[in-house]
Structure 1
Amino acid sequence: MEGIIIKCCSHLQEARTVSGIYHLITGKKSIQTVQDAHSYRLDQFFGIYKSLPKQDFDNIIAELISHEYLIVRGESFVIPTTAGEKWLDQNRTDLPFEYFNGLKYIETGITYSQRLLLLIQTLTNIKMNNYSFIPIIDKSSITTWVRTLYHTRIDNKNEWSHRIYEELYTLLNQLTDLEAGLFVDRLTGFQRVGMSSHQLATKYNLDVHNVYIHLVGIVHRLLDTINSDKSKFYVMSLLLEDMTDNVFITNSAKETYHLLNQNLSIYEIAAYRKLKVNTIYDHVIEIALNDEHFPKHNYVNEDEEQDIINAIKQTNSFKLKDIKHIIDANISYFQIRLVIAMAKLSIKTGEEYEEKQST
């Protein structure tokens, strides 16, 4: 957890307050937070700890400051110290940042985990003719899904149990012994209750927050592997059936998108929907963040786009006011936001980067 926070602070510097980091890690569904995740190349950490209490987050920040890994700037900005950057580098092998794919798996990861846990519990109990066990997951959508799968797809319990074992064995072999142990020890089966986060923390000498983060990262890593070769992981890919990767777009933005596709202008849509123009601007940014083929040049021409990109590189910042200050006065804040939403730029280098494919 500490490493993720330091890395977020390193990318954001003084562009966002410490609250902005908390919103990113807990997956606040606001345009600003999602755009920050994209712009500052922190989308992998978006929503990886939705249930993190604010007080616990503040305590971790305070501890990192006390160890002089972070330093406070102004009233609410925190940035890494040289010692913090050095600690991050020295502990890099123990911080599998590449496992996380938060913006993509913010919902899928949770559903997949719950389905798998309950399916394993169901098969191991029924195999021993125990039909009265208490489900480890009591969420109706999950219990209904597993029950339906069992009655419609599972014709041979022994074969399915063996298949799950083989697929998990293959998947877990790509992990460290610690990671595989954490994953296996939380599984519940016949007359075996999976360990709680506190029990795992005690066994593996970790704090509870790092147990949670490890498990999220493991699941994201497994999902990437499964999605890369679904034919190799028949059962695991079935658990993803009817699920799609997360797309952050509200129903209201979808309606705006529908009207845009009918060639209505932003002002016409605002009038038709009786909404403020700025609200429609927000919708367009939502759409652009999720559609790499969005026709941005309908709203910002190539010269204006290049002017904005040059300003980003010159200021080494995504702050709208900093960019606006040095570009053509006729370029609007909306146009700046649109370019930021769609440009693949690294704030740390000012160069274009290739979007990661599997992390």
Structure 2
Amino acid sequence: MERTVLRQVVMEAIIRLRNERTDRSLFHIFQGKRSATSLQDAHFYGLESVFGMLPLKKERFEQVLRELEQAGWIRQEQTLIVTESGQRQVSSPFLVDELGGELRGYPILLWKRVSLLIQTIICLEQQTFFVPVQQDSGVKEWVRKQVKQLPKRAIWMREIHQELEIAFSQLTEREATLISYRLSGQKTGLSFPQLSERLGTDLLSLQLEFVMAWRKCLRVLPEAGLILSLGTDIDQTRMTQSAKKTWEMLKQGYSVQQIAERRRLKKSTMEDHLVEMAMYAPVFPIDQFLSAEAYEEVVIVSDHLGTFSLKRIKQELTQEIDYFQIRVALARKVVNR
């Protein structure tokens, strides 16, 4: 069976899950489900980069797993397991780390803005009718506002072209091709299906390749350049809105109990918010929730067993530490490393 980018990414993700999570868990990570469990799985197992970046339909996801199983690369039991044959199909560095899911949609939204703004400027300069390459109403409204603020469009376009030209010189030929063929001017850029047919690559693998190419392009663009300036207002916060609100109240001096009462949060919801904070906040008052000795024991047991399984860790602890405290400790373990 051919080793496509799609199959490679799925295999890499399964390896990261350490035979500890189900196909449903992986599906929810790919979908970007912002539930406490899925956010925690992505954080613990090093899959933030693929979070929400592979929104396959359930049927297609299950088809990919069947193909991998039929090839003898994985087994589906209570959890997903990569076979020895499957391990040999995966090479380093992992592609899964290049998808940018940890940026929570920033690369995709910036691409939509850049591609539509370039198309709009070119067509306005040439006084040519065009069908917007992006149909997102928020993006179209953003572009309309930007166009009004660009008095010297031709100069702006030249600078954008220079930035892209320099960036493309630092990409592979295929990466530069994927991006340039998608850009539109007077002539509409190629759609993913058209590009897939031209390059002879399956559609989903091509879309993943494009995302990786665009993310690499963003890394080599000048930080003070025009293109990156178009995305400075894009929210890249990983924390959910509800947890963020709880975090703001905690920083204002409210106690956990006061926040729960004021926001009418259940104990389980409040704990989920605190775990999110432990995962994403640069500074977190962990000593308010467990002792240094308890934290250290959770980390030692987790490392010794090579697991993030709460149940397995709980069974090995010598102190009385509840599941919420274990989750907080594991969250900070990942951050601190």
- Superposition TM-score, scaled by structure 1 size: 0.87
User: Are positions 1:182 and 2:173 aligned together?
Assistant: no
Counterpart of 1:81? 83
Which residue matches 1:62? 66
Cα distance, 1:262–1:330 mapped onto 2, change above 3 Å: farther
Q: Is the 8 A contact 2:13 2:96 kept in 1?
A: no
Q: 1:134 and 1:195 mapped to 2: Cα distance?
A: 14
User: How far off its partner does 1:3 sit?
Assistant: 0.8
For the Cα contact (< 8 Å) 1:311–1:327, is it kept in 2? yes
Which position in structure 1 is the counterpart of 2:238?
247
Which of 5, 16, 19 is equivalent to 2:10? 5
Give the secondary structure class of the aligned counterpart of 1:167: helix
Give 1:329 shift. Answer: 4.7
Is 1:196 aligned with 2:191?
A: yes
Which one-letter code corresponds to 1:3 in the other structure?
Q
Contact 1:47 1:103 in 2 (8 A): no
Distance 2:95 2:299 in 1: 31
Q: Could you tell me which of 113, 116, 122 is aligned with 1:115? A: 113
- Equivalence map 1:1-359=2 (5 Å): 1-50=6-55, 52-74=56-78, 77-89=79-91, 92=92, 96-104=95-103, 106-130=104-128, 132-152=129-149, 154-190=150-186, 192-226=187-221, 229-231=222-224, 234-250=225-241, 252-344=242-334, 353=337
CA-CA distance at 1:97 after TM superposition: 4.1
Change beyond 3 A, Cα 1:304–1:122 = same
Q: Does structure 1 conserve the Cα–Cα contact (< 8 Å) formed by 2:123 and 2:130?
A: yes
Deviation string, structure 1 residues 121-166 (Cα, Å, up to 9, x no partner): 1122122122x322111222111211211111x2222212211111
Q: Distance in 2 between matches of 1:6 and 1:96?
A: 10
Instruction: Tell me by how many angstroms 1:98 deviates.
Output: 4.4
- The aligned amino acid for 2:13 is C
Aligned partners of 1:37 and 1:46 also within 8 Å: yes
Please give the secondary structure, in 1, of the residue aligned with 2:109: helix
The alignment partner of 1:230 has SS state of coil
Report the TM-score, using the length of structure 2 for normalisation. Answer: 0.92
Q: Deviations over 1:205-240 (max 9, x none)?
A: 1100011111111222223334xx412xx2202211
CA RMSD, 1 decimal: 1.9
Once the two structures are TM-superposed, the CA of residue 304 in structure 1 deviates from its matched residue by: 0.3
Aligned-partner Cα distance in 2 for 1:108–1:10: 26
8 Å contact kept, 1:249–1:287: no
Query: Per-residue deviation at 1:338?
Result: 0.3
Does the Cα contact within 8 Å between 1:292 and 1:342 map onto a contact in 2? no
**How many angstroms does 1:262 deviate by?**
4.3
Q: Give 1:164's aligned amino acid.
A: I
CA–CA separation in structure 2 for the residues paired with 1:22 and 1:122: 37
- Aligned-pair CA distance for 1:23: 1.2
SS at match of 1:79: strand
What whole-Å deviation, never above 9, does each CA across 1:275-309 have from its counterpart, x for those lacking one?
22221111111112211211111111110001111
1:293-347, CA deviations, whole angstroms, 9 ceiling, x for partnerless residues?
Answer: 11111111110001111111232211111111111352111110001111128xx
Residue 99 of structure 1: how far off its partner (Å): 2.7
| Secondary structure, counterpart of 2:127 in structure 1 | coil
The one-letter amino acid paired with 2:16 is H
Q: Structure 1 regions of 5+ residues with no counterpart?
A: 346-351, 354-359
Q: Which amino acid aligns with 1:102?
A: G
Deviation at 1:182, TM superposition (A): 1.4
Write the distance in 2 (CA, Å) between the matches of 1:272 and 1:120: 47
